Amino acid sequence: MRVLAALSGGVDSAVAAARAVDAGHDVVGVHMALSRTRDQFRTGSRGCCSIEDAGDARRAADVLGIPYYVWDLSERFEDTVVADFLAEYEAGRTPNPCVRCNEHIKFAALLDKAVALGFDAVCTGHYARIEVRDDGTRELHRARDAAKDQSYVLAVMGPERLARSLFPLGEVASKDETRAEAAARGLSVSAKPDSYDICFVADGDTQGFLRDRLGSREGDIVDTSGEVLGRHDGAYAYTVGQRKGLALGRPAADGKPRYVLSVEPVRNRVVVGSAEELAVGTVEADRAVWFATPGSAAFACEVQVRAHGVPVAAVATAAPGGAVRVDVDAAAGLRGVAPGQSLVVYDGTRVLGQATVTGTRRPAPPAPGPTPPGTAGASSSDGGSDAVATPRAVPAGVHR
């Protein structure tokens, strides 16, 4: 099989390419230049796409004995990932640029170009697993190493692109194993620091990046009653659930911390409140991408709203047109979900689908029920509940 290996210049992509070579594939390495103004060197673990990274990718290709090319995708990256990032923040939402990069660059621009050139698949260093069922169905699953699992940011790719993808690191037990393998293969990137934060904000100052691009727009920070508590330089720089950097100058009446509850771009104001007011009972999302076709009935699942968040039990309902509603288990304690975040639906380790959060609703207060006459203080073998559990349907094509 002809395989295009995406070489970022890091240890993960280098080892993934090496494993593709070992598997007998005809492998060609390509480095994606995503920045229009690439630095000579990275700043420690921050940023990527520097000239240093391109050089590291080339050296890895030389060690593996595979052809190597650099593809300039900087214009596509700026027009899709960076533009989306700015537009989402400006609209009061909180995007995940890694999700958009996988959607628009790695598994759209890169894969489409690879297919046009006659390649069968693209190989990346993502930590996720692909399982193939007896009927040929390809499923996206969490990586064996839960700490490195990247299935969340890959969920947007959909089944067609999954069919042309290889993730050789999915079964790796830990990042230490990857580094040890790189060292044994003579790859100089074996000890290179991982990149983190937003790749195009190399100094880590996201608010400064937004301010430079969007300008200063002073406005009010208010509580839920509308009382002005402070000022901000731009509502776009805040996100739901944020606690630090509010600089309100005076504590809440109860002395507890305040958090961002909502961002209102039209009124250019930020609304803050208590931690309890961040509680989420229902999440609504749209633009769904499904690996398994959902039915009209609700189905039990787990959902995750952050790349390294904790999955929580929920019941999801998919509607026509790509809308999704998720009712979260009240005991899950889910809070601080922002519009624009990626909502990923799981069945165990398997990714069922992904959608973009449009809004949330707080949990409904428990309804007080009347006490039947003569039962006060009594208990029953079934806990005193008359509720009957209703079986939940699962998406078509999902195998328990």
| C-beta separation of 357 from 308 below 8 A | no
**What CA–CA distance (Å, rounded) separates 192 from 190?**
6
Residue among 330, 215, 265 nearest 89 (CA): 265
Report the alpha-carbon distance of residue 389 to residue 400 in Å, rounded: 19
Please indicate whether residue 301 is annotated as part of the active site: no
Q: In this structure, are residues 26 and 1 in contact, taking their beta carbons and an 8 Å threshold? A: yes
Query: What is the identity of the amino acid at 137?
Result: T
Which is it for strands 342-347 and 299-304: parallel, antiparallel or unpaired? antiparallel
Catalytic residue among 48, 98, 123, 199: 199
Q: What is the distance between the alpha carbons of residues 180 and 104, in angstroms, rounded to a whole number?
A: 32
199 given a catalytic annotation? yes
The answer to whether 181 and 15 have CB atoms below 8 angstroms apart is: yes
Angle between helices 11-22 and 51-64 (to 10 degrees): 20
Angle at CA of residue 100, ends 68 and 212, nearest 5°: 100
- Packing angle of the helix pair 11-22, 175-184 (nearest 10 deg): 70
Closest CA to 340 of 77, 101, 87: 87
**What are the E-state strand segments in the chain?**
2-6, 26-33, 68-72, 121-123, 128-132, 138-142, 165-166, 219-222, 228-232, 259-264, 269-273, 282-290, 299-304, 312-318, 324-328, 342-347, 350-361
> Sign of dihedral through CA atoms 310, 142, 126, 327?
negative
Give the catalytic positions in this structure. Answer: 101, 199
